[in-house]
Amino acid sequence: MITLLKSAKIIDASSPFHQQTKDILISDGIIKKIANSIPNKKEYQLVKKENLHVSCGWFDTSVSFGEPGYEERETIKKGLQVAAKSGFTAVAVNANSNPVIDNKSAVEFLINKANGFATKLYPIPSLTQGSKGIEMAELYDMQQSGAIAFGDYKKPIENDNLMKVSLLYAQNFDGLILSFPKNNAIAGAGIAHEGINSTKLGLKGSPALAEHIQIARDLFLLEYTGGKLHIPTISSAKSVELIKDAKKKGLQVTCSVTSHHLVLTDNELHEFDSNFKTNPPLRTNSDTKALQKGVNSGVIDIITSDHNPMDIEHKKVEFSEAKDGVIGLETAFGAVNSVLELEKFIEKITSNPRRIFGIETTSISEGKTADISLFNPDEKYTFTKGYILSTSKNSPFINKKLIGKVYGVFANNQLILNS
* Sign of the alpha-carbon torsion through 234, 238, 244, 245: negative
Rounded CA separation 171/169 (Å): 5
Angle at 186 between CA 181 and CA 190, to 5 degrees: 90
Q: Residue 208 carries which DSSP code? A: T
Other C-beta atoms lying within 10 Å of the C-beta of residue 144: 12
N-to-C CA span, the chain: 20
d(CA 347, CA 58): 9
Element (H, E) at 26: strand 21-27
Q: Is 306 tagged catalytic?
A: yes
Whole-number Å distance between alpha carbons of 20 and 237: 36
The one catalytic residue in 23, 152, 266, 306 is 306
Structural contact between residues 380 and 319, judged by C-beta atoms closer than 8 angstroms:
no
Report the C-alpha gap between 8 and 5 in whole angstroms: 6
The three-class DSSP label of residue 329 is: coil
Q: Dump strand ranges (E) for 220-297.
A: 228-231, 253-258
Query: Where on the phi/psi map is residue 51: left (φ > 0), alpha (ψ -120 to 50), or beta?
Result: left
Handedness of CA 72, 280, 95, 307 (dihedral sign): positive
Closest listed residue to residue 343, CA positions, set 377, 382, 381, 367:
377
Q: Rg of the chain's alpha carbons, rounded to an integer?
A: 21
Q: Which of 360, 234, 351, 361 is nearest to 299 (CA)?
A: 234
In angstroms, the CA 287 to CA 397 distance is 19
Tell me whether residue 386 is exposed, middle or buried, using C-beta atoms within 10 angstroms of its C-beta: 0 to 12, 13 to 18, 19 or more. Answer: exposed
Which residues pair with residue 372 across a beta bridge?
56, 410
Phi, psi of 226 (to 5 degrees): 80, -170
H or E stretch covering 113: helix 104-113
How many CA atoms within 13 Å lie on the side-chain side of 1? 11
Active site residues: 306
